[in-house]
Amino acid sequence: MPVKGITSQADYQNILSGAGATKLVVVDFTAAWCGPCQTIKPIFEKLSNQYRHVTFVKVDVDEFQEVAAVAGVTAM
């Protein structure tokens, strides 16, 4: 399953609530200027294809600052 890019805070909440308590969701908080984030990107995408029963989500912290704040992300 391809990595899902969120489009809003509501979208992020829907993904999490839709997974419920039984489905694993892996979230990559990323930024275009973050070198390590860009390094891990192809690995994250490969894992999303390998583990199709897991939901993989990416959140651009510059575009969705409030999502990152709610999740407790304080540094990149």
Instruction: Indicate which residue of 6, 28, 30, 37 is catalytic.
Output: 37
User: By residue range, what is the domain housing residue 35?
Assistant: 4-71
Does residue 37 carry a catalytic annotation? yes
Q: What is the CATH number of the domain that holds 17?
A: 3.40.30.10
Tell whether 76 is covered by a domain: no
* High-pLDDT (> 70) share of the chain, %: 100
Instruction: Indicate which residue of 26, 34, 71, 73 is catalytic.
Output: 34
Tell whether 61 is covered by a domain: yes
Predicted pLDDT at 35? 97
Task: Give residue 20's region: left, alpha or beta (phi > 0; psi -120 to 50).
Answer: left
Does residue 45 carry a catalytic annotation? no
Q: Using one digit for the tens of pLDDT, what is the confidence trace for 12-45?
A: 999 999 888 889 999 999 999 999 999 999 999 9
Q: Which of 30, 76, 38, 31 is nearest to 57 (CA)?
A: 30
